[in-house]
Structure 1
Amino acid sequence: MATNNNFFESLPEGFIANAMSRTSPRDVCRLSLVCSLFRSAAEWDAVWEKFLPPDYRKILAGGGGSKKEVYMRLCDYPVMIDGGNKSFWLHKPSGKKCYMLAARELSIIWGDTPRYWRWISVPDSRFAEVAELLSVCWLEVHGRINTSLLSTDTRYAAYLVYKSAPHTYGFEHHPAEVTVGLSGVEGQVKTVFLDPEACRRQRHEYEQTLPGRRRMGMFNHLRRLASRSNATPPENGPTRRQDGWLEIELGEFYNGKGQEGDLDMSMMDVRGGNWKGGLIIQGIEIRPKAS
């Protein structure tokens, strides 16, 4: 180990910094643990400026500090843009761009009809207003962002960020349809349960139909055999975020080089007769898909 450290210490610090700038923020942090030379090179502005978006000065309105400090600030503290209807930050491990569209930035069917929706402020939202569903039978929410705003060569996922009010109803038994795709191109449609308990119940019922499950009684055994041919995988369900809100994945999208257009994201439950209410929507978040 001492021999390796001596070799590293003999390299020019600028050479090390240049090599680090061609990796990723996560790699730079790991390499800084190799030796004191790497730790010093990992602080160079030239390294961290490579991970910052070209317009970072405009986004931060002249925020000072080293480039590493600016980078960390953009990762840890989302910046409000577009009149407060979008927030922007960087994905800390990769430096990829992330956005959240506020509920006001979304197209919500009947969103401005006080009978069906109301706009309120809640203390744990990053936006001034959120949309609270009062009562509808036709639920339809759409979001759109131009792919030129996103990082290239990156697989993104879009998430509806929401919470349930104490009086939420109508989501216990009916899943919603969600999709993500380029405008004008039909995206993959999947179904999700917005109600966490409904998702757990559906997953449990599906598991009971799998081969090898012991079921007591002839009736249950025959019912299992009959359902096997129609069994489907469990529906996707929401997860709880660190900020206390729920999120449900709407779909994925790979943003390749030269692939420009509008990315459409939607969530719908339009079956007649299924009235629902109590959902509080903060917005739609677009961030790199965890590998």
Structure 2
Amino acid sequence: MGSWISSAVGAEGEAASLETVLGDLPESCVAQVLLHLDPLETCRAAQLSRVFRGAASADFVWETKLPKNYAYLMGLVSDEKSPIERRRGLCKKEIYARLCRPNLFDGGSKVFWLEKRRGGICLSISSKALQITGIDDRRYWKHLPTDESRFNTVAYLQQTWWFEVDGEIDFCFPAGTYSLFFRVHLGRASKRFGHRICNSEHIHGWDKKPVRFQLSTSNGQQVLSQCYLDDPGSWVHYHGGDFVVDKCDVPTKLKFSMTQIDCTHTKGGLCIDSVFIYPKGFRQGKVLASTCNFVG
């Protein structure tokens, strides 16, 4: 009887010793699984075990999560603390992390970054990089310092008859579909005793006629839409249109505008922060896209 129990216990112990745990998986097999996870999921998986941590650092894993033109994007990165020789020595995971940070370029008037989960490129263009009719006439326009803009300044319109904001950019976007937005605020925001307030003194004229948005690309895409500006006191992303990029190694030249040039009435009380370009479907901030009517 005792010998039977001993043999049974021995068999169970032997079976238990044959159980496979996560740490027993080959690192190469784990890496193949991580290829199918998004970047955030890959980072979480790295916390499971030493094998997962090693696989989650493999260059070939992160190569698949980087945009195909990541070398071009790294060439735009401006960081005096990271000379180009050091940047060339970064592993792919470090490159991904570097590109996820806000990266200023073109004299600090533009910034791009990777959206962490999907690795899509996002881009923002400062109001100072836009061509705004009458911007140098202080009777109508002012540049206001603010902590509500990543560029720390916005263009504020007190009053004008002719409202026209134009911009353009040449950029190698990764292949995909993108949406362009104007970040706009009706009223002048400020702080008093630590509380945010909005001065609506100059808001007028935007309910008379809609604002027209135009977008065109160097490969012949064109979008025209119009929209009434609304929701004073809030920063709103007004949808200017979508465009498609087929080749990541060829610069796409974008031209875009926001206008209200009906001179039968004045308009004012408007802050222009920047123009945003996101992968289609990605949303950041309050979006009033549904109120825009696309023409043609």
2:241 to 220, 244, 251: 251
Q: CA deviation at 1:181?
A: 2.3
Q: CA deviation at 1:159?
A: 0.9
**Hey, what's the Cα distance between the residues in 2 that align with 1:262 and 1:28?**
34
Q: Is the 8 A contact 2:78 2:104 kept in 1?
A: no
Q: Is the 8 A contact 1:160 1:283 kept in 2?
A: yes
> What residue identity is the alignment partner of 1:95?
G
Relative to structure 1, is the Cα distance of residues 12 and 84 closer, same or farther in structure 2, using a 3 angstrom cutoff?
same
Q: Deviations over 1:148-206 (max 9, x none)?
A: 2x112x11111111222222222234321112221483622111222127xxxxxxxxx
1:162 to 184, 187, 199: 184
Q: Is the 8 A contact 1:138 1:272 kept in 2?
A: yes
Where does residue 34 of structure 2 map in the other structure? 20
Where does residue 220 of structure 2 map in the other structure? 185
Question: Do structure 1's residue 196 and structure 2's residue 214 form an aligned pair?
Answer: no
Relative to structure 1, is the Cα distance of residues 99 and 186 closer, same or farther in structure 2, using a 3 angstrom cutoff?
closer
Q: Deviations over 1:230-276 (max 9, x none)?
A: xxxxxxxx9x6xxxx32111111111127644111221111122211
Question: Do structure 1's residue 176 and structure 2's residue 211 form an aligned pair?
Answer: yes
Q: What's the C-alpha RMSD, in Å, of the aligned pairs?
A: 3.4
> What residue identity is the alignment partner of 1:170?
G
> What residue identity is the alignment partner of 2:254?
L
Pick which of 117-126 and 279-288 moved more: 117-126
Q: CA deviation at 1:105?
A: 0.9
Where does residue 220 of structure 1 map in the other structure? none
Q: Where does structure 2 lack aligned partners over 5 or more consecutive residues?
A: 1-18, 189-198, 283-296
Q: Is the 8 A contact 1:130 1:282 kept in 2?
A: yes
Q: CA deviation at 1:10?
A: 5.9
Q: Where does structure 1 lack aligned partners over 5 or more consecutive residues?
A: 198-237
Q: CA deviation at 1:16?
A: 3.3
Residues 82-93 of structure 1 correspond to what in structure 2 (within 5 A)? Answer: 82-93=106-117
Q: Is the 8 A contact 1:147 1:255 kept in 2?
A: no
Q: CA deviation at 1:288?
A: 0.7
Q: Is the 8 A contact 1:48 1:71 kept in 2?
A: yes
Relative to structure 1, is the Cα distance of residues 147 and 22 closer, same or farther in structure 2, using a 3 angstrom cutoff?
farther
Q: Is the 8 A contact 1:109 1:140 kept in 2?
A: yes
Residue correspondences, number: 240
Where does residue 62 of structure 2 map in the other structure? 48
Residues 1-291 of structure 1 correspond to what in structure 2 (within 5 A)? Answer: 6=20, 11-17=25-31, 20-21=34-35, 24-25=38-39, 28=42, 37-38=51-52, 40-52=54-66, 53-54=70-71, 55-56=73-74, 59=77, 61=79, 62=82, 68=93, 71-72=96-97, 74-75=99-100, 77-148=101-172, 150-152=173-175, 154-164=176-186, 165=188, 166=199, 167=201, 168-183=203-218, 185=220, 187-196=222-231, 245-257=235-247, 260-290=251-281
SS of 2:259 mapped into structure 1: strand
**Hey, what's the Cα distance between the residues in 2 that align with 1:144 and 1:23?**
35
Q: Structure 1-normalised TM-score?
A: 0.68
> What residue identity is the alignment partner of 1:151?
P
* Rg (Cα) greater in structure: 2
Q: Is the 8 A contact 2:76 2:105 kept in 1?
A: no
SS of 1:262 mapped into structure 2: strand
Relative to structure 1, is the Cα distance of residues 180 and 22 closer, same or farther in structure 2, using a 3 angstrom cutoff?
farther
Q: Determine which structure has the larger helix proportion and give its number.
A: 1
Structure number with higher relative contact order (C-alpha < 8 Å, ≥ 6 residues apart): 1
